[in-house]
Every structure is written in structure tokens, then in C-alpha cells.
Amino acid sequence: MAIVNILQDFPILNQVNKDGKRLCFLDSAATSQKPETVIESMNHYYRTMNANIHRGIYQIAEQATEAYEKSREKIQEFIHAGSSREIIFTRNTTESINLVANTWGKQNLKKGDLIILSEMEHHANLIPWQILASDKGISLEFIPVQENGQLNLSEYQRLLNLQPKLVCVSGMSNVLGTVPPVKQMAVDAHKAGALFLVDGAQMIPHRKVDVQDIDADFFAFSAHKMLGPTGIGALYGKEALLESMPPFLGGGDMISKVFLRSFTTNELPYKFEAGTPSIAEAIGFGAAIDYLNQIGMDAIWQHEVEITKYAIQELQKVPGLKIVGPTDGVRGSAVSFTLDYAHPHDVAQILDSEYICVRAGHHCAMPLHTRFSVPATTRASFYLYNTLDEVDRLKTGLEKVYHFFG
């Protein structure tokens, strides 16, 4: 399947407004659009096998259970996990990271212990550790972000000498597009005796991920960033670690036996999946992975490299525009920028009048914006369904902003 011929697969992207302009969606870092196959896979579940899983012995319940667990296996294969037991369904990346903080963190960290993060982390990979630090008296230290948007890896090495227990870093910045060398960072973390967690929400939609090659101890991600539905995500954890961790939530399906005053936990992965799960969404998650596999992650990455390079080249021609983050080298497809004569919210509103969707604000990364001394940025983020023509539309829209404000 050619990347250039897939727009018809996404119903929403064929919308045309009253002025005859086709929807130009440049906010995939916030959430991606869904192909017809994902939408229909969820409809098929509700229409043909809507039943709870892991309990019923009647035919449609067994069909639903099989479809749900097949999606887990697809995720395992997609990220090259060693076993489907290492794939925990959660609501999203945020819940996945909170799960680790509230189980492994509470069980294994004590007052005075250190966690290393970076200045570019999304709030989802920052606040859970702040809460834990407040509760347990542990310390947080941060890898600085340099002016070019790259992590200061020399400072990372210095921080590792402080003997941290855990390193948590984004696999790709949702603001800067920065792609840290997570494989080498994991090697260095393990040499220092620390576990290594990757916030993979922005990484996994765009590049091949092999959690065993990275040697990540935990890897968290969301379906809705990678063509899947909202309300479901996953946590990968090494099996031995997951086995040693206490349960996160209590209730049905995460138990083996229950007595009035005690219980025993279920086996992995169900130990961490309390209550009726998001069954239709899990099935949609699996359909999204099928779609990504059909196109190929290498093809998606190369497509985005071309679009992002062109976007940076063209956007820098807009008067007063400054890109926040790397402008060359290996980087992701989230391009954030400021205009010295217009607030990001005004920029987004004018672009919306052209039926162009971009994000304006701090993108759940307020400390990173503080680092660059800007209250907010405008962000255009590209994905497999975007085209060079849409970059041209964005540039034209920004020129309209310039003529209005500049």
C-alpha cells in the first residue's frame, strides 16, 4: 500500500467545509485519525459478539475473548515483547506510568532514592513521579535540554553517578520532536543499577519499536496516537518485574481466589486488569496494528522524514517564525514554533478558518516551555496520511497570520 494513496481509508479526512476546503489535520501528536478498518472492527464486535470476556462459556463470549486476546498478541509481536504475559492493557500511557509508580515504585523505592527524568517530559511522565516523591521522600533529578533541543547526555552520565533507582525518559518529544538515544541510555542506566522506563506514546506510532533490543524494563503507550481508539493503552514490562509487583487496582478478573479477609492475585497479565476492560477498543487497537503493519513502519518513518524536512524548510521562510527544537538530524514529526507577533491561540484560530487543525498551548509540557522562556507554542504534527501539499497549505495559512498581525 502506497502512503500517497491512503486518504480514502480515513473517512474524516475526506470532509470538505462550506468553503470547499478539505480538512487538513496536523494534530496527530495529540490524537491520530482512524482508518475505516479500525472503526469497522469495533462496530463488528458490538454487532456480532458483544459479550463480556474471560467468563462466559457461550459462543459469542468465547469469540469476544479470542478477539481481545488476539489483539494482545498483535501488540506483543508489534513491539517484539518476549511474551503476551508482558502486555498489560491500560486506559492510556498516563495510566501505564501511574501503574508502575504505584506498584513497583511504592514497593521498591524508599526515602533518599533517586529517579532521573528529563526536562522535556510530558506531564504524564512527570506528575506520577512527583506524587511518589512527595509520598516517599525520594529525589528527582532532570537531564537538561540544550538550546538545540537535544538532551545533555554528558549531564546524564553525571546524574547516573548518583546511583539512581529508575530512569524515565520519552522516546520522542511531543513538543521538540527530539529522539533521544534510548537504547544507549538504557545500557548506561542498567550499568548504574537503575531500571529504565520509556514513555513511548510519541515514538511507537512512527518508528519500529523492539523493547528487547532497547532493553526497556517498562514501555508505556496509547492506542489513539497510532490510529487506534481512545480509552485504551498498554504497558510492557519485563515478566519477572511484573510478577514481583503488587496489583494496581482491585476487583474482578485480577483475582484467583477471594475470601472475606484476603485474596490471591490472578496470573499475568490479568493481575493488573481489574474489572470489565475496554473490549471493543482492544479489538480496534489490534486492527490499528494490522493497518500499520500493512503499510510498514519503515515506510511510515521515511514518509514522515520527508514531510518534516520539507515543513521545517518552508516554515522557516515565514517572517518572525522560530522553530523550538531540532531543525536538522534525526527528529520526529512534531514541529513546534512561535511567531514574534502573534499568540499561538490566535495562530490556531486563523488556521482553523482555513480548515487546518494545529495545536496551541504548552502541550502538557509546561516545564519544557519554561526552559525555552515561552508560555506556549503552535504545533503542527504530521503522520502517515499527511502530504506535502498540506505543508504548503500550512505555510499559506501562516502567511495570512503574518499579514493580519505582522
**How far is Cα 222 from Cα 200, in angstroms, rounded to an integer?**
8
In this prediction, residues 382-401 reach a mean pLDDT of 97
- Kindly report, residue by residue over 339-356, the tens digit of the pLDDT: 999 999 999 999 999 999
The per-residue pLDDT of the chain, averaged, comes to: 97
CATH number of the domain located at residue range(s) 40-293 in this protein: 3.40.640.10
pLDDT at 4: 66
Is the sign of the CA dihedral 92, 94, 100, 106 positive or negative?
Answer: negative
CA distance 169 to 174: 12
Average pLDDT over residues 69-77: 98
Cα separation, 237 vs 217, whole angstroms: 6
What digits encode the pLDDT tens for the residues 199-223?
999 999 999 999 999 999 999 999 9
pTM for the whole thing? Answer: 0.97
DSSP characters for 241-305? HHHHSPPSS-STTSEEEE-SS-EEEPPTTGGG--SS--HHHHHHHHHHHHHHHHH-HHHHHHHHH
3-state secondary structure of 374: coil
CA-to-CA distance for 297 and 208, rounded, in angstroms?
A: 6
Contact 307, 382 (CB under 8 A): yes
pLDDT band at residue 119 under the 50/70/90 scheme: very high
Task: Sketch the domain layout of the chain as residue ranges.
Answer: 3-30+296-405, 40-293
**Ramachandran bin of 345, using left for φ above 0, alpha for ψ from -120 to 50, beta for the remaining angles:** alpha
Average pLDDT over residues 325-335: 95
Contacts of 181 (CB under 8 A, 6+ apart): 153
> Would you say residue 280 has pLDDT above 80?
yes
**Which backbone phi and psi does 76 adopt, to 5 degrees?**
-55, -50
Q: How far apart (Å, rounded) are the C-alpha atoms in residues 172 and 178?
A: 6
Query: In angstroms, rounded to a whole number, what is the distance separating the alpha carbons of residues 13 and 16?
Result: 8
CA 367 to chain CA mean position, Å: 18
Residues forming a β-bridge with 90 = 233
**pLDDT tens across 156-200, in order?**
999 999 999 999 999 999 999 999 999 999 999 999 999 999 999
User: Using 50, 70 and 90 to split pLDDT, how confident is the model at 66?
Assistant: very high
115 phi and psi, to 5 degrees?
Answer: -115, 135
CATH architecture of structural domain 3-30+296-405: Alpha-Beta Complex (3.90)
What's phi and psi for 232, nearest 5 deg? -150, 140
Distance CA 2, CA 319 (A): 35
> What is the pLDDT at residue 339?
97
- Asked whether the predicted pLDDT for residue 267 surpasses 70, the reply is yes
Query: Confidence class of residue 1 from pLDDT cuts 50, 70 and 90?
Result: very low
With 60 as the cut, is the pLDDT of residue 2 above it?
Answer: no
Taking a C-beta distance cutoff of 8 angstroms, is the pair 37, 287 a contact?
Answer: yes
Number of neighbouring beta carbons within 10 Å of residue 123: 15
What's the pLDDT score for residue 406? 77
Q: Helices (DSSP H) in 51-209: which residue ranges?
A: 59-79, 93-100, 106-108, 127-136, 153-160, 182-191
Q: Do 165 and 108 contact (CB within 8 A), yes or no? A: yes
d(CA 9, CA 359): 24
List the catalytic residues: 364
What Å distances lie between residue 174 and 169, 195, 265, 388, CA to CA? Answer: 12, 23, 36, 21
Instruction: State yes or no: pLDDT of 253 exceeds 70.
Output: yes
Query: Which residues, 6 or more positions from 390, have their beta carbon under 8 angstroms from its beta carbon?
Result: 24, 26, 356, 382
> Nearest-CA neighbor of 75 among 340, 232, 286, 246?
286
The pLDDT tens digits for 13-61 are: 999 999 999 999 999 999 999 999 999 999 999 999 999 999 889 999 9
The span from the CA of 97 to the CA of 216, in Å, is 13
